[in-house]
Amino acid sequence: MVSLNDVSEEERVLFVQYKSLVYEAIELSKRQYTYEKIIGLIQSSAREYGADFNFATVEEIILRCDVELSSIRTTLILNELEQSKLIIKLGETFADLSESYPDDFPFPFLTEG
């Protein structure tokens, strides 16, 4: 197994950046899921209890959530692009480090030598 101590400082920095992007993507995906569920619940409630709803307010809430969702989706796409760039820069070292540090977060190895 390869340790971060076995790679160059540049490779170490790139891998830590990659892992940070992965964690950020996980958090963004959770936010995306939450907004999608909120929108779904609002739409479902509006269909079921429509007569009791102020549809202008419902539309405004959904539009605000949709704007946030669009922002999250764009950020996720850019995040994936950055991850790909880092994987390319790391080359074979990426596979070795990924095997050694599959799911570590927060990164205990940030304090390693």
Count how many Cα atoms sit within 13 Å of the Cα of residue 32 in the half-sphere of its side chain: 14
In a domain, 109, yes or no: no
Query: Mind listing the pLDDT tens digit for each residue in 14-31?
Result: 999 999 999 999 999 999
Distance CA 36, CA 3 (A): 39
In a domain, 48, yes or no: yes
Distance CA 85, CA 80 (A): 9
pLDDT of residue 58: 87
Q: What is the pTM for the complete model shown?
A: 0.79
We report the CATH number of the domain holding residue 13 as 1.10.287
Cβ atoms 42, 61 nearer than 8 A: yes
In a domain, 3, yes or no: no
* pLDDT band at residue 5 using 50, 70 and 90 as cut-offs: confident
What is the length of the chain?
113
Asked if residue 107 has pLDDT above 70, the reply is: no
DSSP 10-43: HHHHHHHHHHHHHHHHHHHHHHHHHHHHHHHHHH
Q: In which domain, by residue range, is 35 found?
A: 9-101
Asked if residue 106 has pLDDT above 90, the reply is: no
CA 5, 10, 13, 19 torsion-angle sign: negative
pLDDT of residue 111: 43
Distance CA 37, CA 31 (A): 10
DSSP 8: -
Distance CA 110, CA 93 (A): 17
Query: Mind listing the pLDDT tens digit for each residue in 67-91?
Result: 999 999 999 999 999 999 999 999 9
Query: Mind listing the pLDDT tens digit for each residue in 41-63?
Result: 998 988 888 778 888 888 999 99
